[in-house]
Amino acid sequence: MKKNYVIGIDYGSDSARGVLVDADSGKQIAAHTSLYKRWSKGMWCDASREQYRQNPLDYIEALEEVMESIISECDDPSAIRAIGMDGTASTPCLVDKHLTPLCLLPGHEDDPNAMFVLWKDHTGAKECDEIIAHAKGTPYLNHNGNTYSAEHFWSKALHTLRSSEALRADAWTAIDLTDYIPALLTGCKDASKMRMSHCVAGAKWMWGEEWGGWAPREWYTSIDPILGPFWDHLPKNNYQVDEPSGKLCPEWAERLGLSTDVVVCVGNLDAYSGSIGAGVAYKKVAMSMGTSACYICSVPNEKLGGRIIDGLFGQVDGMVLRDQTGLDVGLSAYGDAFAWFKRLLSWAGVTDPDSILPRLGEEADKLPLRVDAPLATDHFNGRRCPKLSSTITASIMGLNLSTTAPEIYYALVEACSFGTKVIIDHLEANGAEIDEFVAVGGISQKSPFAMQIMADVLGRTINVSGSKDAAALGSAIYAATAAGIHKSVADAQAVMCPPVIRSYHPRKERQAVLAKRYAKYLDAVKFNEED
């Protein structure tokens, strides 16, 4: 019997990860991770300005390395039927009419504004404020919790367009990373023929079916006339992520040694794919615990009845599962907050920096829980939900000359858990039913301490998925559906999602003290908001 293999590629903040999966059994055959070479050197980034840019050559080189590695471990490359991918979002780049990123054209090679603007880049904060003010009294922000973010597309597009007359002259439109890789693999070089992802359009680009797709041209030009040509070139349609974007083009088929019959799936956002790999379903929240934290749930459309929930990062029909509304919430900094502390402690030079956080976790786990222990807030990269702010900052308080590094680390981990509790309470207060939490991502696999604190703070059991590459697996599940191997995403999940490998249960004896500390956390957040 002919085998059915699929590939899932996940473009994260620091690297691309790929998996090769047997779609009929769910067995993972191979996996590989490729770090972005230029990004790892900090090129074109300035953390002091919250500027984070990536060169598309990093994406292309990582794609080749990942694909060549996993294909080399495949017993029958002719059995590879489909490729799916996901990426961080919104991570857009100005492109010409042929979908070539402007930094790959002469004259723009070293211009950060001609590169991909990573999801956590906040240089468009001013433009974001303009968009929010301009949208008052309109429905155009409905799918973003009735607000907008510097992390979303139009904030970034307007900021980069304003940066240079030369860029405006050469920019035809922009493309998100989520759409760029499928276009690259299918050989699409015509912006008008690009198959845009429904997920990125609805969650990040302010597309809404109820107002005809895009807001009127004059709405954009009244913000800034330079958006007019952009509006003219916006994709007319978008497509579900379980649909084909096209077939593998001859150039990439030859480079990879694959058939041009291989289906390339429409792209998806990384957290949404991760939720699929985690087995997200109605009443089950998928928690992607990475550099940021993304919490995704999916609600049958009839349960919401068209109601918009304020304060969400995204609320889009069909963005995760068909015939269901996906709800997107989370923290702008999760693992990034811990990485900051590691860099702080490593400043003078440490022989083994990777051992710092595990050691801190071991020591922090031994600390007695005290109401008066050091306390932190979690907004190291602003706040997503339920009250979006690109300017609010984090804080650490209650320090004295006896404070230890494990105490500060505990405070940081607890703060991220408190921030999560605010979000989950907001969801449930607005009608989202939650019976189960399943976690994926590096922290869920590597930090029992962080996961236990999360369970304690939420007062809920958290299960950990057996998938080490949930986002890539989710993309493989979408690919298997797009290729017709499985009839639906749910059918593919039933076969391809691994079981839970560990569960963290809340410790009841800690609840009373945590409740008092949570009240102090809320007071600290309020103080930072008013500062």
Confirm whether 46 is domain-assigned.
no
Task: Name the nearest CA neighbour of 256 among 485, 78, 87.
Answer: 78
431 and 400 within one domain: no
Q: What percentage of the chain exceeds 90 in pLDDT?
A: 91
Residue with tokens 């300005």: 49
Residue with tokens 């922290």: 443
> What is the 8-class DSSP label of residue 461?
-
Confirm whether 342 is domain-assigned.
yes
Residue with tokens 């710092």: 356
Question: Mind listing the pLDDT tens digit for each residue in 412-470?
Answer: 999 999 999 999 999 999 989 999 999 999 999 999 999 999 999 999 999 999 999 99
Instruction: Tell me if 384 sits within 8 A of 332, measured CB to CB.
Output: yes
Q: What is the mean pLDDT of the chain?
A: 95
310 and 288 within one domain: yes
327 and 278 within one domain: yes
418 and 298 within one domain: no
Rounded to whole angstroms, what are the CA distances from 101 to 9, 43, 94, 383? 20, 17, 6, 30
DSSP result, 15-57 = EEEEEEEETTT--EEEEEEEE-HHHHTTTT-BGGGTB-EE-HH
417 and 310 within one domain: no
Question: In the predicted model, what is the mean pLDDT of residues 115-141?
Answer: 96
Q: What is the pLDDT of residue 145?
A: 87
521 and 404 within one domain: yes
Question: In the predicted model, what is the mean pLDDT of residues 54-58?
Answer: 98
pLDDT at 390 over 90: no
SS3 assignment for 86-126: EECCCCEEEECCCCCEHHHCCCCCCCHHHCEECCCCCCCHH
Confirm whether 177 is domain-assigned.
no
CATH number at residue 387: 3.30.420.40
pLDDT at 323 over 90: no
Confirm whether 1 is domain-assigned.
no
Question: In the predicted model, what is the mean pLDDT of residues 354-358?
Answer: 93
pLDDT at 304 over 90: no
Question: Mind listing the pLDDT tens digit for each residue in 208-225?
Answer: 999 999 999 999 999 999
499 and 370 within one domain: no
pLDDT at 531 over 80: no
Query: CB burial class (10 A; 0-12, 13-18, 19+) of residue 79?
Result: middle
Confirm whether 434 is domain-assigned.
yes
417 and 370 within one domain: yes
Question: In the predicted model, what is the mean pLDDT of residues 322-345?
Answer: 94
Confirm whether 118 is domain-assigned.
no
| Band of pLDDT at residue 33, cut at 50, 70 and 90 | very high
520 and 416 within one domain: yes
* Percent helix, percent strand, percent coil in the chain, to nearest 5: 45, 20, 35
SS3 assignment for 56-85: HHHHHHHHHHHHHHHHHCCCCHHHEEEEEE
298 and 400 within one domain: no
Confirm whether 88 is domain-assigned.
no
Residue-number span of the structural domain to which 438 is assigned: 270-333+427-505
Number of domains in the chain: 2
pLDDT at 303 over 90: no
312 and 368 within one domain: no
525 and 399 within one domain: yes
Question: Mind listing the pLDDT tens digit for each residue in 250-292?
Answer: 999 999 999 999 999 999 999 999 999 999 999 999 999 988 9
DSSP, collapsed to helix, strand or coil, labels residue 203 as helix
Confirm whether 108 is domain-assigned.
no
